[in-house]
A and B are shown apart, each in its own frame.
Chain A
Amino acid sequence: MSDHVRWEELAAGHALDALEPEEDAEFTAHLAGCARCAEVLADHAFVAAQLGQLVDPLDVSAPSWASIREGVVPTPAPVTSLEQVRARRRSPRLLSAAAAALLVAGAGAVWVASSSREQQQSPQQATLAACAASPGCHVVNLQGKASLVVSNGSVRLLSSSLPVPAAGKVYALWQLPRGGRMLLVGSLRATAAGTVGESHALVLPYEETTAFGLSLEPSTVVPTAPSEVVALGSA
């Protein structure tokens, strides 16, 4: 069997959410550098979506918006102005006020970037999209400056527009547990191309993480707390 057929098989399994975690991670990593697989995956994903459309109408109807709404839109009153909307979106429930302000600004930037991007996906975009749609794989947007891919107990900074740090400085990646202080995951190298980093093992399971953060730290010291946070993203 040729390599390409094998990748096509994995693409089909990925679109059906039918791969084992290790296979899925392998395919997702391969996808980052394979435009052909991105095209194949798009076809398979389309077929999978059509299967989803075939489900019979149920004898019970879908929940009303009122019952769904509480878990979707955390604010109780209807929206009346853009300013109110923006104010509300600065209050996610799980984060401190300061962290929330940073995170919400980032989420907006990511959405705008997503809405206006070129239709031709880059390998990085394909990887992010594939991860976002994969069981057990999580994309964490760091305020539009970088994206983390978290799966199988490890985290990788896939792409970044972060500047190369000044001499003597490195980026450090942090995990913020629920109700705890920031925990150091590892340091990340930045290049002139703006792409950073290798995989690091998570300190805590993803499910116990509230947010991830990037900070700038002196390269000669192992920090115990972030000294200069440059980006945050909610888990």
Chain B
Amino acid sequence: MNPHALEDAALLARVAEGDESAVEALYARYGGPCYGLARRILDDAQLAEDVVQQVFLALWQGSGYDPSRGAVSTWLLSVTHHKAVDAVRRESNRRKRLAGEQVLLETATSGPGPDDEAWAALRAERTREGLRGLPAEQREVLLLAYYGGYTQREIAEMTGLPLGTVKSRTLAAMRKLREVLGTDVGENEGQQS
């Protein structure tokens, strides 16, 4: 159980009532990880800030969050990722941001997580462990998609792999990571039952 889940639910209720201090509190809690992810994908401070602004605007306007889909943090990071990928695909010079697969791998498999709460640390460690345990070819397609913002078709072109292989490797990687993450750190921490 995410110890923040109940607090987040209360904050969301206040946001729904138009309480600005509540969205500010959620920004204080999750703005950093959202900005970090957007910055990682976009490699541009202003674009990343724009994305984070859009994410919290969506929160303020009450659009899209569904408690059944998991924690507020999960939703915010998911929306951040979607919007960052949207933004990066609009950029004509996106290829310039490709820092190389090795950088992507280092990004994902080393260093502390953004939150020092025990549950987050546990999940982060298990995720890193899972990534390290993936076959290199599966890890490559997964990280190019998530952190690189590339479509699977683009990854196939970049790597010379058949598209079907990219898809099957991605699915295999996601399944293995889910297995490594286990059920005790599952997605239900945001639910309010």
Show the binding face of A for B, using Cβ within 8 Å: 5, 8-9, 12-13, 15-20, 42-58, 60-63, 65, 67-69, 71-73, 78-79, 82, 85-86, 88-89, 107-108, 110-112, 114-115, 117-121, 125, 129, 132-136, 139, 141
CB neighbours (8 Å) of B178 from chain A are 43-44, 46-47
CB neighbours (8 Å) of B64 from chain A are 129, 132-133, 139
In the complex, which residue of chain B has the Cβ closest to the Cβ of A88?
B18
In the complex, which residue of chain B has the Cβ closest to the Cβ of A131?
B64
State which residues 1-30 of B face A: CB under 8 Å.
12-13, 16-21, 23-24, 27-28
Q: Are B123 and A107 neighbours in the complex by a CB distance under 8 Å?
A: no
Q: Are B20 and A79 neighbours in the complex by a CB distance under 8 Å?
A: yes
In the complex, which residue of chain B has the Cβ closest to the Cβ of A5?
B171
Whether B159 is near chain A, meaning CB under 8 Å from some CB there, is no
**How many positions in chain B have a CB within 8 Å of any CB in the partner chain?**
88
Q: Are B66 and A121 neighbours in the complex by a CB distance under 8 Å?
A: yes
**A141 in contact with B63 given A46-B70, A48-B81 (CB within 8 Å):** yes
CA distance A85 to B17 in the complex (A): 7
> 1/0 per position for B35-66, CB-CB distance to A under 8 A?
11101100001000110111011011111111
CA distance A120 to B193 in the complex (A): 12
Q: Are B187 and A18 neighbours in the complex by a CB distance under 8 Å?
A: no
- What would 10 A/B residue contacts be, using CB atoms closer than 8 Å? A16-B174, A18-B170, A45-B74, A51-B142, A52-B80, A56-B110, A57-B36, A117-B67, A117-B68, A132-B79
CB neighbours (8 Å) of B110 from chain A are 56
Shortest beta-carbon distance from A165 to chain B in Å: 28
Show the binding face of B for A, using Cβ within 8 Å: 12-13, 16-21, 23-24, 27-28, 31-37, 39-40, 45, 49-50, 52-54, 56-57, 59-70, 73-74, 77-83, 85-86, 89, 107-108, 110-115, 120, 123-124, 127-128, 142, 145-147, 149-153, 155, 167-168, 170-171, 174, 177-178, 181, 186-187, 191, 193
Q: Are A110 and B33 neighbours in the complex by a CB distance under 8 Å?
A: no
Shortest beta-carbon distance from B153 to chain A in Å: 6
CB neighbours (8 Å) of A120 from chain B are 68
**A52 in contact with B78 given A9-B168, A110-B62 (CB within 8 Å):** yes
CA distance A119 to B18 in the complex (A): 24
**A53 in contact with B113 given A13-B145, A20-B151 (CB within 8 Å):** yes
CB neighbours (8 Å) of B24 from chain A are 65, 69
In the complex, which residue of chain B has the Cβ closest to the Cβ of A84?
B18
Shortest beta-carbon distance from B193 to chain A in Å: 7
